[in-house]
Amino acid sequence: MVDNVMDASLTPAVSRRRQGGFFGSLFFQQSLFLAAMLALWEVLGAYVFDPFWSSRPSLIGERLWVLAMKGDLTWHMSATLTEAGLGLALGSVVGVSLGLLLARYTRAARITEPLFMGLYSLPRVALAPLFILWFGIGLPAKVMMSFSMVVFVFVLNVLEGVRSLDRDPIDLMRTMGASNGYIVRRVLLPAVLTWIMASFRISVGLALIGALVGELIGSSRGLGWYIERSAGQLDTTGVFTGIVVLIAIAMVANNIVALVSNRLTRWRA
């Protein structure tokens, strides 16, 4: 029994050391897997495939260094991050608010849900020319493109999250005279927090896609514009460089969302 108590009192750091320390950690294994994939790509690009078609990690790293020294990397990344970030923020606020509103008025939700599902299923690339016509080729068009990619994810997830709740506590609070605003703040939002954070994890990539599509159609900067220009010049290394940067941004953003989600939902454990 004493041994069980001692094992339960072990700190996470001690537990990790007993499991193999740093070399047995998930981070090390993920890094090792990524390094192996890059090494395989380098070998295949050097000895099997023509680098014109597949490039190589070493060439991509060299291009990244050149872009960073010239300031172009920051210039393009800041544009894409601004467009995707604003679209994600706007989509989350509007989507969560609309989802809670529809959950409150169930009749309106049943009437409008088929339309929301249709808009969610619509390839938003088809809307890009309209956004360019309505908002021009500046920042608003890209923000609205990202917004259109993520808003329905929040609406539908929040709506489904509220529907899965036990209605008895909500009805009890209403009989006790609680206002709708109080119920939303104290009951609904905490209850659907996991659904909201899941929506953020899904929407990070969608927001980047929206910004990228907007840049491909009409822009003078951004990672999408850089990829399109590189493709037009048959610069495979430039295309892969833009793709690698986008993957890195998505990975970092998803890890940040996961960290925030774990902190906010720790009380559920």
Q: What is the secondary structure of 44-57 as a DSSP string?
A: HHHHTS-HHHH--H
User: Tell me, what's the pLDDT at 9?
Assistant: 47
By the 8 A CB rule, do 103 and 187 touch?
A: no
Average pLDDT for residues 196-210, to the nearest whole number? 90
Nearest alpha carbon to residue 88 among 139, 156, 155, 150: 150
CA 169, 170, 175, 181 torsion-angle sign: positive
User: Tell me, what's the pLDDT at 244?
Assistant: 93
Question: What number of CA atoms fall less than 13 Å from residue 263's CA on the CB side?
Answer: 6
DSSP string, 224-261: HHHHHHHHHTT-HHHHHHHHHHHHHHHHHHHHHHHHHH
* Per-residue pLDDT at 221 exceeds 70: yes
Question: What number of CA atoms fall less than 13 Å from residue 20's CA on the CB side?
Answer: 7
* Per-residue pLDDT at 177 exceeds 90: no
Map 118-151 to HEC letters: HHHHCCHHHHHHHHHHHHCCCHHHHHHHHHHHHH
User: Tell me, what's the pLDDT at 8?
Assistant: 47
Lowest mean pLDDT segment, chosen from 9-23, 120-134, 161-175, 245-259 = 9-23
Average pLDDT, the chain: 82
User: Tell me, what's the pLDDT at 15?
Assistant: 47
Please indicate whether residue 170 or residue 136 has the higher confidence score (pLDDT): 136
Q: What percent of the chain has pLDDT over 70?
A: 86
* Per-residue pLDDT at 34 exceeds 50: yes
By the 8 A CB rule, do 151 and 120 touch?
A: no
> What's the distance, Cα to Cα, between the start and end of the chain in Å?
25
Domains located in the chain, CATH noted:
58-268 (1.10.3720.10)
Cα 267 to the chain's mean position, in Å?
24
How far apart are alpha carbons 75 and 221 in whole angstroms? Answer: 8
How far apart are alpha carbons 180 and 226 in whole angstroms? Answer: 48
How far apart are alpha carbons 227 and 239 in whole angstroms? Answer: 5
pTM beyond 0.85: no
